[in-house]
Each structure stands twice: as structure tokens, then as C-alpha cells.
């Protein structure tokens, strides 16, 4: 999110200014949201359903290593831990220092010691840099699975982050994107509500980043939830 890449937890607050348009940068917006994000995110009434479907589709096993790209405050961590157990590893990558700080507090509160957190912008950091960062913290260069939940629609260009996801995953490993589109329900106000929520969060509801999975992966599975607002795509990385 425009921050200098760092691998330490001695994060420094970064100075910023509004761009000429007056639009708050995504990084600063989510840094401001960080302490309250879990309460503001409509997690249980809406968005947790997509996380559950996406993580369930990865078919994780105890001991697996999984990358959570755009991990935010770590809302996926509990669901992932249920599947990989104490011998697995979660790699959380995010560009906001304050969101990562919340993720670290969550991990510490639950006693989750097998979580590696890395600050990086997946649209600008090279996959080689990310892989080296993971191995420097004791993880494997390539993970068994990689997912991004409600993250790629915030990233421009999302294709760069998707390329990083592929290159951080072992051949035949699983990749999953959970993201948003306009609801297909005729329920009055549903579309306007979804558009407003995405606008507030800075997401591009028209991005449809799951197209990357459909285009580049094999054995693709599709799912949706919440009147089509949540779209889930999972596939396997090609062998070469």
C-alpha cells in the first residue's frame, strides 16, 4: 500500500498526504480502519460465508503451508488453523502495518505461534522477494495453497497480485480467490447496499479477479453466496 517493504515488527508510521483528487489512499484508509475493522466488516452476517466456502475448497491437510494474501487483521486465521493444525504454517501478507499489527495481536491472543506475517505490497513486490521473505522467517519457498479473500478487488493491478499468488504456490497446489460482484438477487436495495459497502472499502465491484483462476488453473470449482454477491473460485496450479 505504498509503504516501504519491511520484514520486522518495528513498524513506523508513514507520513502521507491526500492526492490532488482528495481521495484517501487505500493503505491509509485501512490503517485508519484497523482497530475497528472486525466490527465494521459485516463479517458474520455477510462475508464469513465466502471465507468458509473458499477455505473449505482448498482441501487443506494438517501440516500444510498456506499463504493468505491480503490477510488484513487475520479473519481467515482461525478457519485455516482448524485445517492445518499446529504443524502447519500460515503466511499472512498485507501492505498495511496497522492491519498486520491487529493480526499479530489476534495470533498472540489465541496462542497461534505458527503464523508468519510479512508487510509487502503484492502489486509491486516481486514473487522472488516474497518467497525469500518467507524462507527467511522459517517458511517454505512454495506453499501448498494460496488464497485471497476480498483483497484483489482492492489492488491495482490485481493481475500483478494474482501472478504473485501463482508463483508462491507449488505445482498442483491449490489457489482460491474469494471476492465480490453485484448481487443477482431481486431483493430491494441489495445491489445498492453492496455497491455502497464496496465503495466505502475502496473495492472495485466490477474487477472480478476470480477470472484469473478460471483462466490459469486446472480442476476449477465455482461457488457463490449471499445472492451471488460473493464469488468463490478454486483451482490447481498447472504443473508447468
Angle, vertex CA 164, rays to CA 113 and CA 201, nearest 5: 75
Q: What integer pLDDT is reported at residue 130 of this predicted model?
A: 97
Residue 78's pLDDT band, with cuts at 50, 70 and 90, is very high
Q: What integer pLDDT is reported at residue 20 of this predicted model?
A: 36
90-111 mean pLDDT: 95
Mean residue pLDDT across the chain: 82
Residue range 157-209, pLDDT digits in tens: 999 999 999 999 999 999 999 999 987 765 555 555 555 555 555 678 899 99
What percent of the chain clears pLDDT 70, i.e. is strictly above it? 74
Residue 236, pLDDT > 50, answer: yes
Residue 12, pLDDT > 70, answer: no
Q: What integer pLDDT is reported at residue 105 of this predicted model?
A: 94
* 218-225 and 89-94 beta bridge pairing: unpaired
0.85 exceeded by the pTM? no
Residue 37, pLDDT > 50, answer: no
Residue 117 burial (C-beta neighbours within 10 Å; 0-12, 13-18, 19+): buried
Q: What integer pLDDT is reported at residue 45 of this predicted model?
A: 58
Q: What integer pLDDT is reported at residue 34 of this predicted model?
A: 43
Q: What integer pLDDT is reported at residue 182 of this predicted model?
A: 82
Q: What integer pLDDT is reported at residue 95 of this predicted model?
A: 93
Kindly report the three-state secondary structure assignment for every residue of 35-104. HHHHHHCCHHHHHHHHHHHHHHHCCCCCCCEEEEECCCCCCCHHHHHHHHCCCCEEEEEECCHHHHHHHH
- End-to-end Cα spacing for the chain: 31
Q: Do residues 37 and 73 lie in contact, with contact meaning Cβ atoms separated by under 8 Å? A: yes
Q: Which of 158, 176, 154, 178 is nearest to 231 (CA)?
A: 178
Residue 1, pLDDT > 70, answer: no
The β-bridge partners of 97 are: none
The grid cell for 71 is 490477510
Q: What integer pLDDT is reported at residue 188 of this predicted model?
A: 53
Output 1 or 109, whichever has higher pLDDT. 109
Q: What integer pLDDT is reported at residue 230 of this predicted model?
A: 93
List Cβ neighbours of 187 (8 Å cut-off, separation of 6 or more): 227
The β-bridge partners of 236 are: 174, 218
Report how far residue 80's alpha carbon sits from residue 146's, in angstroms, rounded to the nearest whole number: 11
Output 33 or 61, whichever has higher pLDDT. 61
Amino acid at each position: 500500500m505504498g509503504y516501504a517493504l519491511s520484514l520486522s515488527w518495528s513498524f513506523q508510521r508513514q507520513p502521507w498526504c491526500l492526492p490532488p483528487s482528495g481521495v484517501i489512499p487505500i493503505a491509509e484508509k485501512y490503517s485508519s480502519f484497523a482497530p475497528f475493522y472486525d466490527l465494521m466488516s459485516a463479517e458474520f452476517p455477510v462475508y464469513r460465508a465466502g471465507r468458509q466456502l473458499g477455505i473449505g475448497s482448498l482441501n487443506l491437510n494438517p501440516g500444510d503451508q498456506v499463504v493468505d494474501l491480503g490477510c488484513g487483521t487475520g479473519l481467515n486465521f482461525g478457519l485455516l488453523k482448524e485445517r492445518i493444525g499446529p504443524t502447519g504454517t500460515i503466511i499472512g501478507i498485507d501492505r498495511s502495518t496497522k492491519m498486520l499489527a491487529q493480526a499479530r495481536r489476534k495470533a498472540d491472543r489465541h496462542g497461534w505461534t505458527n503464523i508468519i506475517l510479512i508487510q509487502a505490497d503484492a502489486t509491486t513486490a516481486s514473487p522472488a522477494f516474497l518467497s525469500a521473505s518467507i524462507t527467511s522467517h522459517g517458511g517454505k519457498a512454495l506453499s501448498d495453497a494460496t488464497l485471497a479473500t476480498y483483497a484483489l478487488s482492492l489492488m491495482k493491478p490485481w493481475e500483478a497480485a494474482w501472478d504473485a499468488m501463482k508463483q508462491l504456490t507449488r505445482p498442483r497446489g491449490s489457489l482460491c480467490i474469494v471476492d465480490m460482484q453485484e448481487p443477482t438477487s431481486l431483493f430491494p436495495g441489495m445491489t445498492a447496499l453492496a455497491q455502497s459497502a464496496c465503495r466505502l472499502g475502496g473495492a472495485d465491484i466490477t474487477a472480478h479477479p476470480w477470472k484469473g483462476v478460471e483462466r490459469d488453473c486446472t480442476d476449477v470449482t465455482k461457488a457463490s453466496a449471499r445472492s451471488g454477491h460473493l464469488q468463490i473460485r478454486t483451482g490447481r496450479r498447472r504443473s508447468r
